[in-house]
Structure 1
Amino acid sequence: MEVYSAWERKWKIKLFDHRTSLQRPEKQSLSASMCRDSHWKCLLLSVLMIVCLCAVTWCQVTSVTKLSFDSSLKERSMIYHGSPCSDGYVYIPLAFLAMLYVVYLVECWHCHARRELQHKADISSVHDQIQRMRQATPCIWWKAISYHFVRRTRQVTRYRHGEAYTTTQVYHERVNTHVAEAEFEYTHCGLKDISKDLLDLDRHPATKLKFTKCFSFANLESENSYLTQRARFFTEIEGLDDYMEAREGMQLKNVDFKELVIAYVNLERLPWYVSHYAFWAAALLMLSWPLRVFIEYRTAHVHYHIEKLLGMKYTPHAVPEELIYRFRMPQVSILDSTELEWHICTNRQLIPSYSEAVLMDHTDSSLDEYV
């Protein structure tokens, strides 16, 4: 039996210090703004386009002396002044400029700086959202997928020297046979939110907030209760097939969790540089990179953790075995728990974002058959 994830881990007890329970946005310098997000693709395209423009300008304004021979004038030479890019050479930098400009506009359309302009919120709504997340009840879950590999063959058409021929290809396909899910029963441990108080959002014209979720334990008893329930769950599942994929995470019940929010003091009077018109005007003038750096420089940043502390009011009693099977979660894309190893060892289990979960998951499409 091979287990997909390692589950033997060491935990540290979480100590809550009220003196460090405050958090404020941080304003960064211009050099730090450029290092935080360099937008190197936009910068490289802008530099290449400027080089092409300089080449075209040089061809137009520069004049060189040329010497030519004409057979009709009995091989007499003729001296005249002309452009160094005559005979159509001027169209070479123009062609490169046009191609780079199209790629540059495509990059502007797909860049995350443009998408972040849509995550706008006022300060009051951000504080309300934080309050809801702090009051929300966490759901700490586990998921196990049992699977094996099947050897299959298929006919593949290949081409060699322009002629088609058919060959047999052998490959191995993963087959999921069982999916089980459970959640941690922590009513006997007690729960407390120890997220920090966020202050001074109104002191900056714009503040970019990145939210993450995590949980920790206040004592060894609650930690052992978690480890016991988790070990019992995966022990019962690991013998059902050749391999087992293990996952875990946390979600906040009845809360629309958003990973990124940009808070403004007044949504009715936004700064000029955060409008879509300013963004595309700068993009058309090949000034998108300076505008992005300026936006980053004028924006404060804060990484806010929603942290739940378990074990504040621990009641020692045996947890019935059937409690961990009370709930069944919907089939959603979730992140492989091996990515959380480092955070768990430091007693801060970070929960993956939706985009990371979608990119990591490749098996959910075949789960419905076995649920």
Structure 2
Amino acid sequence: MASLPDKDSPELHLVVATAEEHYAQTHANSDEWRGALSLPAYFRREEHLLNQDLTKNGGLTPWLLVHQPAGTSKNDRKVLCGCETIRKTALAAVNGKVQDETAHGVASVFCPPQFRGKGYAGRMMAELGEKLKGWQVKDQPALFSVLWSDIGKDFYAARGWKAFPSSHISLAAGHQPPSSLPQSKPLKAADLPALCDSDSQSLRSQLSNAAKPTVALLPNVATLAWHHAREEFIAKELYNRNPETKGALVEIAPGRRAWCVWTRVWTNPADDDANTLHILRLAIEGDAAQDFAPASEDGVVNVQGSPVVDAIAALFAAAQREAAEWEMEAVEFWNPTSVALAAARKIDGQSKVHEREKASICSLRWYGEGDGEDLQWVCNEKYGWC
């Protein structure tokens, strides 16, 4: 192998991958991310995901750091590492004004083993962080970009992506819930567009009351459908089944509802990680939904006995039943509020919040005014992950 360039070489460039380069990069990262899928099935899944509403027509951009000395053609450049970004819609609230904004989610950061330890991934991320501010925007810059680190908090923080609280609650699949909980009804894909519209309206209203600058990724139907396209492909490929139930809904009171939308996540059989049903989004209509504060023991005490807690417990119980139906081990919900923790304890009195320090670390790079130190990132649930 010819000598490799230094990470600071002017011959290194951040570029958008050609279709052929993107295919080759997908092949290179397949051992890392195809899980239980065969290599041909992994290629089919990635092609399927590229054609979803969230990602098609330029919604997903494949990026590469390449070595391309002056005078070298595009066909002869050497790929050193790569990643992908997905354009997302976000909401931002400043001084009571809520606006739609552009954000980007960074995913699939991968450096082949032979190029690791040389600073290439760091160079790529540093350049990408700057590039995304003006990427695929018209009248104003993107407001922020996000990623979920599986290598801890330091690497991406050093390149501008601040680590935000990353926690979850977990419930065992198939547990028998208290009989006093209200009845839930299953949600199908056809139910989600109207619920997402209602959720969007509620979220805009809630954010207008934010006391400090606050952002949220919009839990729109295109985002949820991308997650469901992923699970549906794997379920069909591995089990020849279609996961038709997408979540559950409970009526708290006439005209007031709570619902959750979930996805099934299968892990690599070679790993020790459990197959898990993840709650993508938990939505509550009404005033209770305005409390975005992280779960606390005092907060749990304050909401005990609330019909909202019972409703969410019923949703969690429905998720447990669905997880057991698909032979999964657990149900997981990210960054719970006190209402969600109190609901989990209706089912399992020992439920607690687990703080993640290594995997799925929610990280945000701010492009707006100021340094973003006081920024709140709310509704930071699994639906945002990419």
TM over 0.5: no
Q: Which has the higher contact order (CA 8 A, sep 6+)?
A: 1
Instruction: State the TM-score, normalized to the length of structure 1.
Output: 0.21
Structure having the higher Rg: 1
